[in-house]
Amino acid sequence: MKGTNLGEFQELVLLTIGTLYPNAYGVGIKDEIRETTSRKVTLSTVHAALNRLEKKGLITSSFGEATKIRGGKRKRFFTITAYGLKTLQETRQQREQLWNAIPEQVFNVNWQV
């Protein structure tokens, strides 16, 4: 995954695009992240992440049809590229390796929270 520098929020956005496929657009992504993670997310934060992901070649975007509900404005839909999917798979593998490397005794420790 050299050179991708996928941050935690970018990973959430990328996963959410996959979850909402083929209807992933800004507001929908924001709402899904908020609902799934209980995080307060602004649309501008989502758009910033989308722009970064698109610059990295991890996603592409295209405009849908204009609708009366949106006053003639078109939604911009996002999809994961093959490179984005590969990056997600590598990220998942890395996380699973780390989780699997944690000795079982760590989970048995009575941590004070």
Residue-level pLDDT at 3 = 56
Tokens found for residue 24: 């992933």
Mean pLDDT to the nearest integer, 84-111: 93
Tokens found for residue 81: 């590229």
**Which domains are present in the chain?**
8-108 (1.10.10.10)
Taking only the tens place, the pLDDT of each residue in 20-32 is: 999 999 999 999 9
Judged by DSSP in three states, 59 sits in: strand
CA distance 60 to 72: 22
Rounded percentage of the chain residues whose pLDDT exceeds 70? 95
**What's the mean per-residue pLDDT of the chain?**
92
Residue-level pLDDT at 4 = 64
Tokens found for residue 5: 């520098």
Enumerate the H helices of the chain as residue ranges: 8-20, 26-37, 43-55, 82-101, 104-108
Taking only the tens place, the pLDDT of each residue in 5-57 is: 789 999 999 999 999 999 999 999 999 999 999 999 999 999 999 999 999 99
